[in-house]
Amino acid sequence: MSGSAPAILLKEDRGSVRILKLNRPERRNALDDALRAAVVTEVRAAQADPSVRAIVLTGEGPKAFSAGADINALLLRTPRETMDLFSDERIDIVIERCAKPVVAAINGYAFGGGLEVALSCAVRIASENASVAFPEVNLGIFPAMGGTQRLPRIVGVGRAIEMILTGRILPAREALEFGIVSKVVPQDRLLGEAVALAESIVSKGPMAVRLAKDAILTGYGMTIEEGLRYENRLAAVAMGTKDKKEGLVAFLEKRSPVFTGE
């Protein structure tokens, strides 16, 4: 790994895909304030870097994507501090709103806040040894970094209630069945598969990808009529892009398009 990221977050570029690795393996990549801030900084930097077209987020080591929040930090957190955590700079919001797609490569545990970070990514795949859970109720709290909001939208209300209220651990194959991840692969192929998935998205029209992601995430919280109108407005934007013309002309000319993101 190379780059200027702090030691708690490793960074590597593979072509136009930037890999970010949570690097606290001795703590199962638990999310303390410093690690959350480092992820926010690097996702913002990747979004601003024209050479980066997609991001892969994973955990260092075979045991954990992230086992969740740092328990010692939670013990000291006050109600006021919890309220103050909600902002446009919160890690899950920054990842979800990133104009470039973020792929979560879940290796090992993705518990609590770790799963919430994964749920904020555009796409999730997992290794065969992965497992996911919201165990917060065992500690007298509940998942409150988007867990109660994103999980029902992905798996349905019934399954979300079961997961959150029981704290049950789901192995990778059950996470696939629930729709939490879209693919399960052998552990030694996880990062390569995640990069390949990101590269597949990168090969598409950048503006189309950005607008489609916006239409899905924003429209989901609207009524169907509002969502259709929002989709139509974004479609009109797409129709005015250089990428639209390039994509259609390339199709007619039977060649690969050369998208510029304009």
pLDDT digits (tens, 9 = 90+) for 10-43: 999 999 999 999 998 888 999 988 999 999 999 9
Amino acid, single-letter form, for residue 35: L
Q: Are residues 63 and 127 part of one domain?
A: yes
Look at residues 71, 67, 20, 33 and name the one whose alpha carbon lies nearest to residue 195.
Answer: 20
- 176 domain-assigned: yes
Is the CB of residue 96 less than 8 Å from the CB of residue 145?
no
Rounded-to-integer distance, Cα 152 and Cα 110, Å: 17
CA-CA-CA-CA torsion sign (133, 137, 141, 143)? positive
Say if 257 falls within a structural domain: no
Is it the case that residue 70 has pLDDT exceeding 90? no
On whether both 25 and 47 belong to a single domain, the answer is yes
Q: What is the pTM of this model?
A: 0.89
Under a CB-based contact definition with an 8 Å cutoff, are residues 8 and 23 in contact? yes
In this predicted model, what pLDDT tens digit does every residue of 101-129 receive, in sequence order?
Answer: 999 999 999 999 999 999 999 999 999 99
CA distances from 215 to 102, 123, 147, 204 (A): 16, 16, 21, 17
pLDDT for the residue numbered 142: 86
Q: Are the CB atoms for 220 and 226 separated by under 8 Å? A: no
CB 192 within 8 A of CB 105: no
Residues 43 and 57 in one domain: yes
The single residue listed with the structure tokens 């700079």 is: 89
Distance between CA atoms of residues 117 and 65, nearest Å: 10
Q: Is residue 140 located within the same domain as residue 84?
A: yes
Residues catalogued as catalytic: 116, 136
pLDDT above 70 (res 6):
no
Residue at 109: amino acid letter: Y
The candidate with the shortest Cα–Cα distance to 171, out of 136, 139, 127, 138, is 127
Q: Is residue 21 part of a domain?
A: yes
**Long-range interactions of 97-101: CB distance < 8 A, separation 24+:** 98/43, 98/46, 98/47, 98/55, 99/47, 99/210, 100/46, 100/47, 100/52, 100/53, 100/54, 100/55, 100/210, 101/54, 101/55, 101/198, 101/201, 101/209, 101/213
**Is pLDDT larger for residue 7 or for residue 93?**
93
Give yes or no: residues 110 and 20 share one domain.
Answer: yes
170 plus 117 within the same structural domain:
yes
Residues spanned by the domain of 231 = 206-252
User: Is 215 contained in some domain?
Assistant: yes
Residue 91 tokens, joined: 């890690």
Q: Which residues of 210-230 are buried (b: 16+ CB within 10 A; e: fewer)?
A: bbbbbbeeebeeeeeeebeee
What pLDDT does residue 2 have?
A: 47
Number of folded domains in the chain? 2
